Amino acid sequence: MGDAPEPEAVRASRLAGASSSYLRSAAEQAIDWFPWGPEPFELARRTGRPILLDIGASWCHWCHVMDEGTYADDDVARLLRQHFVAVKVDRDEHPEVDRRYQRQVSALTGEGGWPLTAFLNPDGGTFFGGTYFPPTDGHGRPGFRRVLQEVARLWTEEPERVRDSATTVRDALERAGRAPPAAPAELGPFVEGVLRQLRAGYDPVNGGFGGAPKFPHPSAVALLLWDEFRGGTASGEEARETLVRMADGGMYDQLGGGFHRYAVDEGWHVPHFEKMGADNAELLAAYVDGFRRFAEPRFEEVVRGTIGWSQQVLGDPDGGWGASQDADNAPGDDGSYFTWSRNELRAQLGPELARFVGRVFGIGTDARMPHDPDRNVLFRLLPLNEAAEGLKLDGAPEELFRSSCERLLAARHARRSPAVDRALYAAINGRYVGSFAAAAVVLEEPDWLDAARRAADRWLASAFSPARGMAHRLGPDGPSGFGLLDDQVSFARGLLELAVADAQPRYLEAARSLLELVDREFRGEDGLLRDLAPSLYDGPAVGGATEPSYPLEDSPHLSANSAAALAFVRFGTVLHAPEWLDKARALLRPSAARLGHGGLFAAGAAWAAGLAQTPPVQVVVEGSDETARALLRAARRTWHPNLVVFAGPPPPPFSLAAEVPASSATSGGSRAIVCFERSCAPPVSDPEQLARLIRAGKPEPA
């Protein structure tokens, strides 16, 4: 069935020089792996073989399990060499490929995720698939040896069944694409419907939404905070409780900072241990807003811890941030770097301190590892004073806890640490630029603002052009992967936050260029935005990679269409340009119609729709003395979902909703001007009065 296998040296060389660390890690497997591109499809057509497509990532625990077990199995490798053309894809490097094949496998089997395992015909159509397969029957799944044998038999002996299966998938996706709504949805009812669904799925015991596994949904938190601002008191409490529970759970790294990807239980105790740059950038922004709204010291701790981890682990010395940190530190590992036994605590802290810290972190309670109950994920169970009761401690609980955590972290650093994928991707870096800029101005940390500037400057200098937009990846050989929507809108949002924080027109103009490109090149059916622009895309147009696809649902990352709508709203607010608010609403109406009752996965679109109808507040603080600094601090730390704060009158092309009153309006000195839709309030010099004005969102009555 096809050509003879190629020599091992040729097989290894295909992946050994790959830009993806995930692909390089498979270079020594005894499998004829091809990277994504036209070559394997041409070989499949020439030899009459089906294609095995494996999509995974360096951070993916079960991808490693399949690589270390299934693909290391001699019989599996032999069957693949004899009967298939094998293609391996890094989903971070090729999100457009992953998106299309996730949809195809889901249409066929009802499941998706990573690793994604798909069997394709030489034209790229899926006829069978799944996720993780063990080498032999187990884990409630058929063994991959048996799967490969049966697929090879079907391909040869029952080709009509293969054709029918691929046709079923294609027809199902075409039907879904041919069913546009009769009319765009009204945004008000859409937002109310999403909020009802969020409330129905809210977990009143643990915070968050739904049961196990439990993912963070930052856009849902943002929607709840917006709803509280307009009067939904219960939404504010739900947002706060969700942020508290995530911060205190094992999903947040209590020693090293930063968030793991999700929790396997409904109480946030035991995480899946990979740490994703995209997750941490979005959660960082959520905790900045949570701190502005609730002034919780714990939320400030989480902001500082997440920035610390992002800089220390993902930070690139030339500016920007890498993609992720792996869950595992060795084959067969499952979280040993991040977990602790009682004996390990005693060895580092001594018996009495170990008891104290063990009480705080719930050792021996709800966060024991299922495969090894002696090992525990650290989560916040008891307050420090309560944990110290009855113990003979030499010092204040707060200081003892701080020093104990430092000792434990130092001991953890001596362990073999999980690998870091240092690949630089635009969407992740754009999210980080925005969240670092927001955190910097709220918590008055100029180094964070400098980190945002360095990243933005590097990407704008090396991976951006007005004609092509932002590249997906910035690598040693330069930029690559132009034409992906998420990169454009995520970086535009980051640049907008940096532009406001720094009052820098060049960042605003770069954001304008990206958003105009999006508006011009990415339009598809009903005015929605495609996930890639065929006119700009420089990837291989094989396997249906350029077929229309519309990212509307949060997954749980904010969807690219919702991110675009948010960017349009923010850009319109900063420039006082109503036409961009109109573009946001025009995009959101068909998005809402297609999302319908999307609930949690429509939260980003509902958040954008809410902001599009929330009158902005713009603040200009004038002066350079302590009064001005107090006014600026009050403005930046006061919660309003559609707020722009400038330190001094902003230069063009920044624009205010109304003309700022002349300096002679006051007797002199530092002052703050608060502008609403069409007018500005009289200047104020009292920080508390300024905060009241911002929270009210309208002038105080005379």
Residue 700, pLDDT above cutoff 70:
yes
**Cα separation of 402 and 404, whole Å?**
5
d(CA 258, CA 166): 42
Q: How confident is the model at residue 4 (pLDDT cuts 50, 70, 90)?
A: very low
**Distance (Å, whole) CA 447 – CA 295:** 22
User: Are 412 and 323 in a shared domain?
Assistant: yes
Q: Is residue 456 part of a domain?
A: yes
User: Is the confidence at residue 9, as pLDDT, over 60?
Assistant: no
pLDDT of residue 679: 86
Residue 282 corresponds to which amino acid? E
Q: At what angle do helices 159-177 and 95-109 cross, to 10 degrees?
A: 110
Number of H helices, E strands in the chain: 26, 20
Domain boundary among 612, 628, 651: 612
What's the confidence (pLDDT) of residue 141? 80
Confidence bin at 632 (pLDDT 50/70/90): very high
The label of the residue with tokens 């993609």 reads 323
Residues 466 and 593 in one domain: yes
Is residue 492 domain-resident? yes
Per-residue pLDDT at 27: 94
**What is the pLDDT averaged over residues 673-686?**
91
For position 92, which CATH number holds? Answer: 3.40.30.10
Same domain, 321 and 363: yes
- For residue 595, is it within any domain? yes
Q: Give the list of residues 6+ apart from residue 487 with CB closer than 8 angstroms, or none.
A: 425, 426, 427, 430, 469, 470, 471, 472, 481
The reply to whether 146 and 266 lie within a common domain is no
**Is 201 contained in some domain?**
no
Q: Which residues contact 269 (CB under 8 A, 6 or more apart)?
A: 249, 250, 263, 362, 366, 367, 377, 379
DSSP sequence for 178-229:
T---SSPPPHHHHHHHHHHHHHHHB-TTTSSBSSSSB---HHHHHHHHHHHH
Percent of the chain beyond pLDDT 90?
87
pLDDT, one tens digit per residue, over 529-549 is: 999 999 999 999 999 899 999
Nearest by Cα to 580 from 589, 563, 590, 567: 567
pLDDT of residue 184: 77
Instruction: Decide if pLDDT at 417 tops 50.
Output: yes
Domain boundary among 373, 389, 421: 421
Q: Answer yes or no: do 25 and 65 share one domain.
A: yes
The answer to whether residue 665 scores a pLDDT higher than 50 is no
Kindly state whether residues 368 and 498 are assigned to the same domain: no
Question: 675: which strand partners?
Answer: 618, 680
3-state secondary structure of 72: coil
> Would residue 183 count as lying in a domain?
no
The model's pLDDT over 163-194, given as tens digits with 9 standing for 90+, comes to 999 888 888 877 766 655 557 789 999 999 99
Q: Does 585 share its domain with 624?
A: no
Q: What is the DSSP letter of 70?
A: I
State yes or no: pLDDT of 492 exceeds 90: yes
What's the pLDDT tens digit per position in 292-312? 999 999 999 999 999 999 999
- If asked whether residues 642 and 604 sit together in one domain, one would say no
| Inside any domain, residue 649 | yes
550-604 per-position pLDDT tens digit: 999 999 899 999 999 999 999 999 999 999 999 999 999 999 999 988 899 999 9
- Dihedral sign (CA 433, 434, 436, 441): positive
Answer yes or no: do 336 and 465 share one domain.
no
> Based on the domain organization, do 159 and 220 belong to the same domain?
no
Count CB atoms within 10 A of the CB of residue 293.
21
CATH number at residue 507: 1.50.10.10
Q: Per-residue pLDDT for 7 more than 50?
A: no
User: Of 386, 421, 456, which one is at a domain's C-terminal end?
Assistant: 421
Angle between helices 277-294 and 233-248 (to 10 degrees): 130
Q: Considering its fold, how many domains does the chain have in total?
A: 4
- Cα diameter, the chain: 91
The string of pLDDT tens digits covering residues 110-123 is: 889 999 999 999 99
Full domain range(s) for residue 630:
617-696
pLDDT one-digit tens code per residue, 195-221: 999 999 999 999 999 999 999 999 999
Residue 478 DSSP SS3:
strand
Rounded Cα gap, residues 164 and 618, in angstroms: 59
Q: What is the pLDDT of residues 373-407, one digit of tens each?
A: 999 999 999 999 999 999 999 999 999 999 999 99
pLDDT attached to residue 596:
87
Does residue 97 sit in the same domain as residue 149? Answer: yes
Query: Rg of the chain's alpha carbons, rounded to an integer?
Result: 26
- Provide the whole-model pTM: 0.95
Same domain (yes/no): 512, 640: no
In-domain check, residue 47: yes
Decide if 195 is inside a domain. Answer: no
